[in-house]
Structure 1
Amino acid sequence: MGKRQFSPSPLTVRQAHHPELRRGTSAPSRLSVCVFRTPWGWMGVSETAKGIDAVVLPQASRQAVLSELGLPLAQRQKGRISPRLCEARAQLIDYLSGTRRSFDLPLDLSRGTGFRQKVWRTLLRIPYSRLRSYQWVAARVGGRQYARAVGNAVGANPMPIVIPCHRIVAHDMSLGGFSCGLPAKRKLLTLEGTLQTLRGKQS
């Protein structure tokens, strides 16, 4: 009797081809961070040698921002803030003040898998005051069958606001989810003038 051949189960096949399970590049070392006040609360940004790699949405305290960045609560900024972090801070404050609609910053996406980077680059194409669905993104990164994987990638976005995941809503135009909480998403959509599009459809 010949040697029995292994036949992978349907689950194994799906896993082998699932874009979320493909290996991404190794995460680079973080160079420095900037924690700062805005009219909405405390925010933070960090950078690597390649560019901005993380943004923390407004928090109640500086300590909360440091915690989100994975840094010790007692850590303090040492030395001068880099020009790139200064520019990121200025652009974020301008956005929250309603005087900026787009960002011009070098970004380091290498903490994500290849699939997640593709999703994040697609989110960057969504203009200010426009809404798109998870299915819209999925159709541009491999097919609508990847809508769930797209949802995971959107939820893992390391640079909210700059990479505008808040502009993604459910296919039925309900609010959908947001990793930073729905109150923050509503506030951002109100700033951009699109929340009224969803009113009456938010369950």
Structure 2
Amino acid sequence: MTDDTTLHLEELHTRLAQGAQDAGLLDIAYRTVDSPVGELLLAATERGIVRIAFHREGFDDVLQTLSTKVSPRVLRSPARLDAAATELEQYFEGKRRGFDLPLDFSLSHGFRRAVQGILPTIAYGSTASYAQVAAAAGSPRAMRAVGSACATNPLPLVVPCHRVLRTDGSLGGYAGGLEAKSALLHLESAA
């Protein structure tokens, strides 16, 4: 495609996204951003950020899940996610230690949601064990359930499940991969 054709298609897409937004037909807006831990998919409802996904999770699969579990009215509409993209960029540059974004926890329920509510209390540059998080959630023996809550966290980075480690200090798992988890912990310890 020529540069003019690409520009024309982008302008058309922007007008369509804005028209859908104005008509109340856009329930989930999404965009992708580059980051030091790979490309990320950001998705938001009117209430707030509903999903952050790593490329390895399969963006098409993530969008399909959003379509099924939240709303089928999903469209690439980057403007709704400008603040999230900016805050993530600042985080990766070491200029931000916490996020001020509205969050939509539509994909989390029960104990998983309770655990995900505790994760932001783990301070930037600090870690907690699965056992410590289980105790904070009121179920000291539920370490595996905490692991499951972290593994299914729909808002990694913003809800910092990467700060949860095994009791012996080893990394455990991470949706973005252990290399990404290690990189995030290093970023936070270096700041």
Post-superposition shift, 1:49? 2.3
Residue in structure 2 matching 1:118, options 93, 114, 117: 114
Structure 2 length-normalised TM: 0.73
CA distance in 1, matches of 2:61, 2:27: 14
Residue in structure 2 matching 1:185, options 178, 181, 184: 181
Q: Which residue of the partner structure matches residue 21 of structure 1? A: none
Residue 109 of structure 2 aligns with an amino acid whose one-letter code is: T
Q: CA RMSD for the aligned pairs? A: 2.3
Q: Deviations over 1:81-140 (max 9, x none)?
A: 12xx11000000111111111100111112112211110010011111001000111101
Post-superposition shift, 1:38? 3.4
Give the 3-state SS of the residue equivalent to 2:142 in structure 1: helix
Q: Which residue of the partner structure matches residue 45 of structure 1? A: 42
Give the 3-state SS of the residue equivalent to 1:176 in structure 2: coil
Aligned pair in 2 of structure 1 residues 191, 89: CA closer, same or farther (>3 Å)?
same
Q: Which residue of the partner structure matches residue 82 of structure 2? A: 86
Structure 1 length-normalised TM: 0.69
Aligned pair in 2 of structure 1 residues 30, 132: CA closer, same or farther (>3 Å)?
farther
Residue 67 of structure 1 aligns with an amino acid whose one-letter code is: D
CA distance in 2, matches of 1:118, 1:193: 26
Give the 3-state SS of the residue equivalent to 2:149 in structure 1: helix
Tell me whether 1:77 sits opposite 2:76 in the alignment: yes
Aligned pair in 2 of structure 1 residues 65, 92: CA closer, same or farther (>3 Å)?
farther
Query: How do 1:14-53 residues align onto structure 2 when only pairs under 5 Å count?
Result: 30-53=27-50
Post-superposition shift, 1:151? 1.0
Q: Deviations over 1:50-74 (max 9, x none)?
A: 21011123x48xxx86325325xxx
CA distance in 2, matches of 1:122, 1:144: 14
Residue in structure 1 matching 2:157, options 150, 154, 161: 161
CA distance in 2, matches of 1:30, 1:112: 18
Tell me whether 1:174 sits opposite 2:173 in the alignment: no
Show structure 1 runs of 4+ deviating over 6 A: none
Residue 160 of structure 2 aligns with an amino acid whose one-letter code is: P
Is there any run of 5+ residues in structure 2 with no aligned partner, and where?
1-25, 65-73
Larger radius of gyration: 1
CA distance in 1, matches of 2:42, 2:101: 12
Aligned pair in 2 of structure 1 residues 30, 168: CA closer, same or farther (>3 Å)?
farther
Q: Which residue of the partner structure matches residue 54 of structure 1? A: 51
The answer (yes or no) to whether the contact 1:43–1:56 under 8 Å persists in 2 is: yes
Is there any run of 5+ residues in structure 1 with no aligned partner, and where?
1-28, 195-203
Greater helix percent: which structure?
2
Give the 3-state SS of the residue equivalent to 1:53 in structure 2: strand
CA distance in 2, matches of 1:39, 1:182: 14
Residue 51 of structure 2 aligns with an amino acid whose one-letter code is: A
| Percentage of identical aligned residues | 37
